[in-house]
Amino acid sequence: MSATASAPYIKLAEYHQRCREQARDLPMQQDAVSYWSGVGFVLDGKKYVAPLDEVSEILTVPSYTRIPGAQSWMKGIANVRGRLMTVMDLSGFLEKSSPVQERRRRLLVLDQDDLYTGMTVDEVLGMQHFPIDEFVESLPVSDPSVTGYVRGAYRREGEYWSVFSLSRLAEDPRFMQVARTG
């Protein structure tokens, strides 16, 4: 091999050697942390996180048509891009009141099987990522109205973010019974 033909090979060998030297200080693969992701939101002054696979989208509260004879927390029906979506007030369903004006609130949309519904929350905090090993399964829930919908929590900077399952909420027969009784 001539000197001019081996020059690129020598240059590549030098690059390889420098990369190996620089890589010594990088963390090893086993040091990588796995994360769980969800959509953070505020309800009644508390921080929650909904599993990412349960939130199909986040919307501002659309114009909706009220339904006579429905529960007060069933706000109405909205046309969202040609689909009819029920608009529910999550605070109202949990027998709480929100201090946030409706036009400032947001909808977490659940699109699961035949159910297409938006649930108003006080504020959406965007995507949240938590190290999987920081999940606390048996955390005492301070608010009994959410007990059936919360499955553990993640701790960040001294506060807990409860994992709020929209799917569990949708499975609750009370949530599906929107007609006012009596």
What are 106-140's pLDDT values in tens digits?
999 999 989 999 999 999 999 999 999 889 987 76
Identify the band that residue 29 occupies on the pLDDT scale cut at 50, 70 and 90. Answer: low
Q: What are the CA-CA distances from residue 103 to residues 3, 21, 63, 123, 166 (Å)?
A: 74, 57, 10, 11, 22
Place of tokens 């048509």: 65
* Residue 89, pLDDT above cutoff 70: yes
Provide the 3-class DSSP secondary structure of residue 134.
helix
Identify the band that residue 3 occupies on the pLDDT scale cut at 50, 70 and 90. Answer: low
Provide the 3-class DSSP secondary structure of residue 49.
strand
Q: CA-to-CA distance for 120 and 62, rounded, in angstroms?
A: 11
Q: What are the CA-CA distances from residue 171 to residues 37, 85, 139, 155 (Å)?
A: 22, 17, 22, 27
Domains by residue range for the chain, with CATH: 42-176 (2.40.50.180)
- The percentage of residues in the chain with a pLDDT greater than 90, rounded to a whole number, is 61
